[in-house]
Structure 1
Amino acid sequence: MDNKYYIQLPKEGKKYLFIFVNVYNNGTTRVWPPTSDTIRVYYDGTWYSPDTVHFLPNKAYDRRETPIEVKEIQYYPKLFGSEYVEDYGYSHGSQTAFLYPGKSNAIDGYIIYEVPVSLTPDKTYVRIAFNGKDTAVWKLG
């Protein structure tokens, strides 16, 4: 909010893992999108939830000053569109409520996890729970 840059480092023995998620609705009515807390990382017998220390846009007092930029990825484009990627589930500093049909309405962004330094993509899985009924699992490359 004060327009300054800050450095946030992971705890000793940890590193940050960024998972980029793109969800779009190919149906005909709006739906509730999966929230970031339903997207988990699994590695070496342990589930990891999104980093709760990471500053999210809706925690800001003045929404006009809420663009969150992560230096290493601040110029990555969204998958569908010309805007830059943001925290998953947010658009221009506001949290998205519904997922409307069409790729132009996709929810596209990153989720940050604090994971062990030993984590390797070939032994890591990402699980998304959709509406509490369906689950999808991806193995990272």
Structure 2
Amino acid sequence: MRRLYQLTTCTSACNSRPGAAAGDRNHRNAATATPYPGALVLNQPATFGNADRTGTATVYKAIVWSYYNWTSPSLNSPHSQLQAGVPLGIQNGYNTQEPSAGNAFLIVYVRITDTGTLGLVAPSPRQFTVNYDGKDYTYSSVAGSDVNVRNIYVPQYDYVIGTGGEAGYILPGDSNAADGFLIYEVPATIDLSRASLVITLDANNRAAWALG
């Protein structure tokens, strides 16, 4: 199965020919706006798998928050907070989660659908990487499977397919799709037009989506 985009590499030799000037510099700036120039756009599916085990992956939304609020029946009790050692900042039943100084939270929504006739291995969240300004960012998990993030109406992606942080199986059909979110802590100055989500879908396929 063909790859879904073509990565290109340019060294200093690309610009060593006589006459390279402002037009070349503008071309280089445009080419490096995203590290994946063939990246898919939001809501554009990528296919993977083979024979009777095939699927599609779609990244359909990306937003940046300076913080987020969450609640959890198992973690909001005074006993749980005492065990945690540090009281949680609860406001109107919600805990406030803040990033490190200078950072923000990038929330990416993804959907994996089994389009074949047999069960399909859905990639683990560790196979979903945000790339921005030459650096890769891995997801930051919420505290547990019963966590509800305010204003997000789907669960964390990996809890849809099984235990947190692991790959899992999904069954054929749209109604069985793994539809969820993943959170990444990124620089607060992130420009989504230069950011990509890259998914290693299986041993033979990798796809990238432009996030803005």
TM over 0.5: yes
TM-score bracket for this pair, using the shorter chain length: 0.7 to 0.9
CA distance in 2, matches of 1:100, 1:7: 35
- AA matched with 2:181: Y
Runs of 4+ in 1 over 2 A off after TM superposition: 2-5, 93-97
The equivalent residue for 2:100 is 11
Structure 2 stretches of 5 or more lacking a match?
A: 1-73, 77-92
Identity of aligned residues (%): 32
* Higher-RCO chain (CA-CA 8 Å, sequence separation at least 6): 1
Greater helix share, structure number: 2
| Conservation of the 8 A alpha-carbon contact between 2:128 and 2:200 | yes
Alignment size in residue pairs: 120
CA distance in 1, matches of 2:168, 2:136: 26
| Conservation of the 8 A alpha-carbon contact between 1:86 and 1:109 | yes
Equivalent of 1:125, from 178, 184, 196?
Answer: 196
TM-score, normalised via structure 1 length: 0.78
The equivalent residue for 1:55 is 143
Shift of 1:90: 1.7
CA RMSD of aligned residues (A): 1.8
Equivalent of 1:114, from 185, 190, 208?
Answer: 185
Which of structures 1 and 2 has the bigger CA Rg? 2
Structure 1 stretches of 5 or more lacking a match?
A: 58-66, 77-84
Shift of 1:6: 1.6
Shift of 1:94: 5.1
Equivalent of 2:120, from 20, 27, 31?
Answer: 31
The equivalent residue for 1:60 is none
